[in-house]
A and B are shown apart, each in its own frame.
Chain A
Amino acid sequence: MMGWPSDAEGAATPQPRHDVTWVELDGEVAILDERTREVYVLNTSAAAVWMQLDGDRTLHSIARSLADRAGRDETEILTDVRGLADELRSRGLLTESRPHGT
């Protein structure tokens, strides 16, 4: 699966597309894609990532915060975060904000 154009160092800063609406419910997230009218559900782990995808945070910083919180290896978490972001992007739910640091 293709990664983010600026994600060689986990520096991508994706965010939900403007035509995506989401709600948090008991730690999970339900996402409405207004273009396809489909509703997706993210479990609590994926939701924890989704809720930090604000167009400012990099995937790297998100992985770091989750690793700190869970007491897990940051590199391992970054792999999961990037995989999730790629999956969400392939479904058209994410768009990339500006590359980090530019």
Chain B
Amino acid sequence: MNVPAATAAVTGPFRAHGHAFRVRCDDPALGDWIRNAFCMLIDDSADVVVSADYEIRSGDADRFSLSWGDELLAAHVGPGRIVGTLAWHINRCVVDAATTEHVVLHAAAASRDGRALLLPAEMESGKTTLVAGLVDRGWQYLTDEAAAIPLGSTIVHPYLKPLSIDPGSHAVLPHWRPDTPPGLDVLARGQWQVPAIARGDDRAGGACPVAGIVFPRYEADAATVLTPIGRATALAQLATTAFQWDAEDLRDRFLTLSAVVRQSAAAELVTGDLDDACAAIEQWWCS
């Protein structure tokens, strides 16, 4: 994917699951960086209706503020905090927008040969690191945060946000380090925001049926063990990762997930090593 150079302080529109937005930034370098980080969400189609703009304003001493419409999200913070807050708010809005018509799982996802693998887990379980490792092995990226499955469907739809790679994973994913312009090197020190196409133009996946579910758990120094689990157990675990599991149409959401697990193999993964984890998943996936 070629990303055209920014010509104005307004970038976008971006869209994911009904959340459409633009980003206004009075700092050209930061605005360009954000546009590149979120480039896989750019949507130039005519039917995009932007609900509001994010606005980033620079202040004294490399400090910035971030607003969403009339709502002030952050004030007098560095660019790392601005980008992190922006990514967090976009995620929240995307999930809110998607949950009316989708079951949205707190999960990473990747696809291969037109079949999707879900990696549902809570925070700090290694979802992003694991999906980055799979992308390095040729898988196509679908999301590292929120997997959306329309009610009544077994198809997972991509949410192509940048991968949010925590500092604890920088050492095992050094090749994912984002380029930063002069003065913004702080964006390479905290949580990295990196589009999957940074690892290849063909790394963006499309909507496809779920065929596998692996519940990952990172444990430092743990040996890698992948244990197949039954579908009923997988369904119960999957439900614990669903956003808004208190909706009025809960029964429909449960039945949607039951259809997903019915056509999928499922396993739990404990690992302390990224290469071993990816190898175990690929061996299981091909078996």
Known: A23-B258, A25-B262, A37-B246. A30 touches B251 (CB 8 A): no
Q: Give bound CA distance, A26 to B231, whole Å.
A: 7
A42 to B235: give the CA distance in the assembly, Å.
12
- Point out the residues of chain A lying under 8 angstroms from B285, CB to CB: none
Judge whether B192 is part of the interface by a CB distance below 8 angstroms.
no
Q: How many residues of A contact B (CB 8 A)?
A: 14
A39 is an interface residue with CB less than 8 A from chain B: yes
Q: Does B255 contact A (CB under 8 A)?
A: yes
Q: Does A21 contact B (CB under 8 A)?
A: yes
A8 → B minimal CB distance (Å): 33
Q: What is the predominant secondary structure among interface residues of chain B facing chain A?
A: helix
Set of chain A residues within 8 Å of B239, measured between Cβ atoms: 32, 39
The yes or no answer to A41 lying at the interface (CB within 8 A) is: yes
A21-B251, A23-B258 are contacts. A39–B236 as well, Cβ < 8 Å? yes
B245 in contact (CB, < 8 A): yes
Give chain A's interface secondary structure class.
Answer: strand
Cα–Cα distance between A23 and B231 once the two chains are bound (Å) = 10
Instruction: List, in ascending order, chain A residues with CB within 8 A of B233's CB.
Output: 28, 41
The reply to whether A23 and B250 contact each other, CB–CB distance below 8 Å, is: no
- Mark contacts of A16-32 with chain B using CB atoms, 8 A cut-off: 1 yes-contact digit, 0 otherwise: 00000101011011101
* A34 located at the interface, meaning its Cβ lies under 8 Å from any Cβ of chain B in the complex: yes
Closest B residue to A24 by CB, please name it: B232
Neighbour of A34 across the interface among B230, B235, B251, B262, CB < 8 A: B251
Measured between beta carbons, the chain B residues less than 8 angstroms from A23 are 232, 235, 254-255, 258
- Residues B258 and A25 in contact, CB atoms below 8 Å apart: yes
Q: Nearest 10 A-B pairs (CB), nearest first?
A: A28-B232, A25-B231, A30-B232, A39-B236, A23-B258, A32-B254, A30-B235, A25-B232, A39-B239, A41-B232
A interface vs B, CB < 8 Å?
A: 21, 23, 25-26, 28-30, 32, 34, 37, 39-42
Q: A23-B254, A25-B235, A32-B250 are in contact. List 8 more A-B contacts (CB 8 A).
A: A21-B255, A23-B232, A23-B235, A25-B231, A26-B231, A28-B233, A30-B232, A30-B236
Q: Can you name 28 A-B pairs with beta carbons within 8 Å? A: A21-B255, A23-B232, A23-B235, A23-B258, A25-B231, A25-B232, A25-B258, A25-B262, A26-B232, A28-B230, A28-B231, A29-B232, A30-B232, A30-B235, A32-B239, A34-B251, A37-B245, A37-B246, A39-B235, A39-B236, A39-B239, A39-B254, A40-B236, A41-B232, A41-B233, A41-B235, A41-B236, A42-B232
